[in-house]
Amino acid sequence: MKILVTGAAGFIGAALTKALLDRGDIVIGVDNHNDYYDPTLKDARLARFINHKAYTHLRMDIAAKEPMAAIFEKYRPQRVVNLAAQAGVRYSLENPSAYIDSNIVGFANILEGCRRTQVEHLVYASSSSVYGANTTYPFSLDQQVDHPISLYAATKKSNELMAHAYSHLYGIPTTGLRFFTVYGPWGRPDMALFKFTKSILEGAAIQLFNYGKHRRDFTYIDDVVEAILRVLDRPASADPLWTGAHPIPNTSSVPYRIYNIGSGKSVPLMQYVEAIEKALGLTARKEWLPAQPGDVPDTQSEMSDFIDQFKTCPTTDINEGVARFVEWYLSYTRG
């Protein structure tokens, strides 16, 4: 298939693009290479496949309306995976306009491109952050997600609503994936695993917000890529059981679906830290800090709907996944 992947130089986007190329697909990758974190890491991710004969890389911002429309017209992708977004909960407190531009305006451009070129299936990244102020665990797809506690979360919920409108109006199959704390090799420097590993190796204290009492559903990158591939290959369909009298939040009478993508386990932050310490053979210095605005205390995914539909689930153990990251990190930083 010919597949457009936005955010192709990002953590998940690069891993997915490589997997698509490895299985024989043609990929058009789009990324704006912004400096939210060090662009050299994005370049290093791309170096693994940028010269592949089936890959085309376009340095483009999805918020640019006319250039994005031209990409859809020129390449006519059969399917699209939108992973481009301004990421990060805390950064949204400092630079809200970046989230509106990329996550709202950019996503609207993606939807319009899909409409105009009759794309067979749009898969897009949502986030566990949409559960916001909810405190019933695990987070299930039948919960309402109307109380975001960060602008980032609000933009991701907006994406789900926008996708449903286009599925309803134009029959575009859309599937949103609510990712739960993705980690692993080639990960983002602003994420805890990268920051903690770097600090421990440098002898600096790691910052533990909420005094280290957070719990997170950590999902290994290979498991996430496998989930995306399975979803991509099965375009969303209408739910015959859906009615307006008894609406099901994650399905519809039109080709629209939402899935949680997590491990299904809620791991204490301190257990995560211990896994890093074990992999490094070092003990972290710790700085205990209060919770940050926009951070949810705990996350845990309820995965039964995805498992029922796709007969698979993430399986990578946290200790194994962290060890693989540390091995990659040492190799990457030490050459």
Peptide bond preceding 293: is omega within 30 degrees of 0, i.e. cis? no
**If you ran DSSP here, which 8-state letter would residue 184 be given?**
S
- What class does CATH assign to 2-182+219-264+300-315? alpha beta
Q: Tell me the DSSP string of 7-34.
A: STTSHHHHHHHHHHHHTT-EEEEEE---
The average pLDDT across 235-258 equals 97
Per-residue confidence (pLDDT) for residue 296, from 0 to 100: 84
Residues, the chain: 335
- The amino acid occupying position 178 is R
Picking from 31-35, 69-73, 226-230, 291-295, which range would have the lowest pLDDT averaged per residue? 291-295
CA separation for the pair 145, 141 (Å, rounded):
9
Q: Is 86 helix (H, G, I), strand (E, B) or coil?
A: coil
Residue 46: is its pLDDT beyond 90? Answer: yes
- Of residues 302, 178, 173, the one with CA closest to residue 239: 173
- Is 152 noted as a catalytic residue in this protein? yes
Query: Over the stretch 310-326, which tens digit does the pLDDT of each residue have?
Result: 999 899 999 999 999 99
Strands 26-31 and 55-59: parallel
Helix/strand/coil percentages in the chain, nearest 5 = 45, 15, 40
Q: Is 142 helix (H, G, I), strand (E, B) or coil?
A: coil
Q: Which residue has the tokens 């926009």?
A: 294
Residue 161: is its pLDDT beyond 90? Answer: yes
Query: What are the C-alpha distances in Å from 32 to residues 8, 68, 190, 268, 335?
Result: 9, 12, 18, 35, 26
Q: Which residue has the tokens 């890491």?
A: 41
Mean pLDDT of the chain: 95
What would the two tokens of residue 193 be?
């695993």
Q: Considering the candidates 152, 183, 220, 272, report the single residue annotated as catalytic.
A: 152
Query: What are the C-alpha distances in Å from 249 to residues 89, 161, 241, 262, 314?
Result: 24, 11, 12, 18, 23
Contact (Cβ atoms closer than 8 angstroms) between residue 111 and residue 161: no
Query: Cα torsion for 136, 138, 141, 145, to the nearest 10°?
Result: 40
**If you ran DSSP here, which 8-state letter would residue 43 be given?**
H
CA separation for the pair 335, 203 (Å, rounded):
20
Per-residue confidence (pLDDT) for residue 86, from 0 to 100: 81
Per-residue confidence (pLDDT) for residue 87, from 0 to 100: 76
- Of residues 314, 297, 296, 298, the one with CA closest to residue 306: 314
The average pLDDT across 185-190 equals 95
Query: Over the stretch 94-111, which tens digit does the pLDDT of each residue have?
Result: 888 989 999 999 999 999
Strands 215-216 and 267-268: antiparallel
Q: Which residue has the tokens 């909960």?
A: 89
